[in-house]
């Protein structure tokens, strides 16, 4: 008796979704239009980066944000993106904001309009998923824009008073006579004035930006990134007070050391110390977290049992 065997059809495994191609032509065209539309605003912004020591980190912000966005490109190319035309509305709104800011000589409005236009472009071509995937580099772009003068002035003066007060107490503690009058320190050798450039706002702006970048590359815990961001605020303020104190000590050794290259070098040294303090803070918090994490796990397991 003969039997007919059914042919075995090999099972074809589901193929992974096709990887999308980068729309370089569209992206290049959009980038050209944005630069063309916001050219005068961007030129004045770059000029301020070059001349304002408080905004020296501005050159690095778009480079780092672009690098992080490039790292995240697989999240976008691995799935079909749905355009969202609310992005077009945001682009139009940003254009109107830039126009109003330019007419009123309000640089902050005109400059933030550029970032809003970039966000609108991402939303227009990639939808809400692209915004979620690129939210971190997009937020970083705001760090390249100087804060408004009204807010800047309200921040710097209290920082000047705090730095001068801490420096006065420290100098008196180590035996250097000093008389403080507001933000002015009267020493035996000379008079030191804690001006806006010595308020610590420069270190504060740079350190907060670096804390976000450092947390992104060296820690995956979101709460840790928030903690590092908040921790840099007192670190920067105390580091600047230490710089003012160091300047007072150096002026007692040689009055010329309180100015010029020596003063600038001391600022860089204190900034690097503040950066190291941020890294040490991260390591300490991580060690404490690992120390108490097993106890938290055992407590959860006992409750579940």
- Predicted confidence at residue 304, as pLDDT, reads 42
pLDDT, tens digit, 9 for 90 and up, residues 192-207: 777 655 666 777 888 9
Strands 179-181 and 184-186: antiparallel
Q: Considering only residues 155 and 110, tell me which one the structure prediction assigns the higher pLDDT.
A: 110
Buried b (16+ CB within 10 A) or exposed e, 92-114: eebbebbeebeeeeebebbbbbb
Range 156-165 average pLDDT: 83
pLDDT band at residue 257 using 50, 70 and 90 as cut-offs: low
Q: Considering only residues 226 and 303, tell me which one the structure prediction assigns the higher pLDDT.
A: 226
> Which single residue is written with the structure tokens 């400059």?
111
pLDDT band at residue 78 using 50, 70 and 90 as cut-offs: confident
- Predicted confidence at residue 24, as pLDDT, reads 64
CB 87 within 8 A of CB 120: yes
The reported pTM is 0.79
List, as one string, the DSSP characters of 204-257. Answer: HHHHHHHHHHHHHHH---HHHHHHHHHHHHHHHHHHHHHHHHHHHHHHHH-GGG
pLDDT, tens digit, 9 for 90 and up, residues 20-66: 665 667 777 888 888 888 999 999 999 989 888 778 888 999 999 99
- Predicted confidence at residue 115, as pLDDT, reads 94
Q: What is the spatial distance between Cα 87 and Cα 102, in angstroms, rounded to a whole number?
A: 22
> Which single residue is written with the structure tokens 């916001």?
38
Instruction: Retrieve residue 50's tokens.
Output: 């070059």
pLDDT at 153 exceeding the cut of 50: yes
Range 252-263 average pLDDT: 68
pLDDT at 300 exceeding the cut of 60: no
Q: How many CB atoms lie within 10 A of CB 174?
A: 9
Range 167-190 average pLDDT: 80
For all residues of the chain together, what is the average pLDDT? 81
**Which residues lie closer than 8 Å to 189 by C-beta, 6 or more apart?**
251, 252, 255
pLDDT at 140 exceeding the cut of 90: yes
Angular region, 103: left φ>0, alpha ψ -120 to 50, beta rest: alpha
Range 198-220 average pLDDT: 85
> Which single residue is written with the structure tokens 């290259």?
261
> Which single residue is written with the structure tokens 């007070």?
241
Q: Give burial (CB, 10 Å; 0-12/13-18/19+) of 1.
A: exposed
CB 282 within 8 A of CB 214: yes
- Give, in order, the Cα–Cα distances in Å from 180 to each of 65, 164, 185, 220: 43, 7, 5, 45
pLDDT band at residue 305 using 50, 70 and 90 as cut-offs: very low
- Predicted confidence at residue 294, as pLDDT, reads 62
CB 100 within 8 A of CB 91: no
Q: Considering only residues 81 and 13, tell me which one the structure prediction assigns the higher pLDDT.
A: 81
Q: What is the spatial distance between Cα 45 and Cα 224, in angstroms, rounded to a whole number?
A: 32
CB 64 within 8 A of CB 213: yes
Range 116-126 average pLDDT: 91
Strands 191-193 and 184-186: antiparallel
- Predicted confidence at residue 139, as pLDDT, reads 93
The number of angstroms, rounded, from the C-alpha of 178 to the middle of its chain's C-alpha atoms is: 37
- Predicted confidence at residue 95, as pLDDT, reads 92
Angular region, 191: left φ>0, alpha ψ -120 to 50, beta rest: beta
Q: Lowest mean pLDDT: which of 169-183, 188-202, 245-259? A: 188-202
């Amino acid at each position: 008796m003969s039997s007919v065997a059914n042919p075995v059809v090999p099972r074809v495994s589901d193929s992974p979704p096709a990887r999308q191609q980068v729309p370089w032509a569209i992206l290049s065209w959009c980038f050209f239009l944005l630069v063309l539309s916001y050219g005068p605003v961007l030129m004045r912004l770059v000029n301020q980066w070059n001349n304002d020591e408080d905004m020296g980190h501005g050159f690095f912000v778009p480079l780092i944000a672009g690098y992080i966005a490039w790292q995240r490109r697989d999240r976008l190319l691995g799935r079909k993106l749905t355009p969202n035309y609310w992005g077009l509305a945001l682009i139009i709104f940003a254009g109107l904001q830039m126009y109003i800011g330019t007419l009123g000589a309000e640089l902050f409005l005109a400059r933030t309009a550029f970032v809003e236009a970039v966000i609108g472009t991402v939303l227009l071509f990639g939808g809400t998923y692209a915004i979620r995937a690129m939210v971190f580099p997009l937020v970083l772009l705001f760090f390249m824009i100087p804060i408004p003068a009204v807010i800047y002035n309200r921040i710097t003066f209290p920082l000047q008073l705090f730095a001068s007060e801490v420096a006065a107490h420290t100098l008196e503690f180590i035996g250097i006579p000093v008389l403080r009058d507001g933000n002015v320190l009267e020493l035996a050798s000379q008079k030191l004035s804690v001006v806006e450039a010595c308020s610590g706002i420069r270190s504060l702006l740079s350190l907060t930006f670096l804390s976000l970048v450092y947390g992104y590359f060296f820690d995956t815990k979101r709460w840790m990134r928030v903690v590092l961001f908040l921790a840099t605020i007192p670190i920067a303020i105390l580091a600047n007070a230490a710089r003012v104190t160091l300047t007072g000590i150096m002026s007692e050794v040689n009055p010329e050391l309180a100015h010029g290259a020596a003063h600038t070098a001391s600022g860089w040294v204190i900034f690097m110390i503040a950066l190291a303090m941020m890294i040490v803070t991260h390591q300490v918090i991580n060690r404490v977290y690992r120390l108490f994490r097993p106890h938290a796990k055992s407590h959860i397991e006992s409750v579940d049992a």
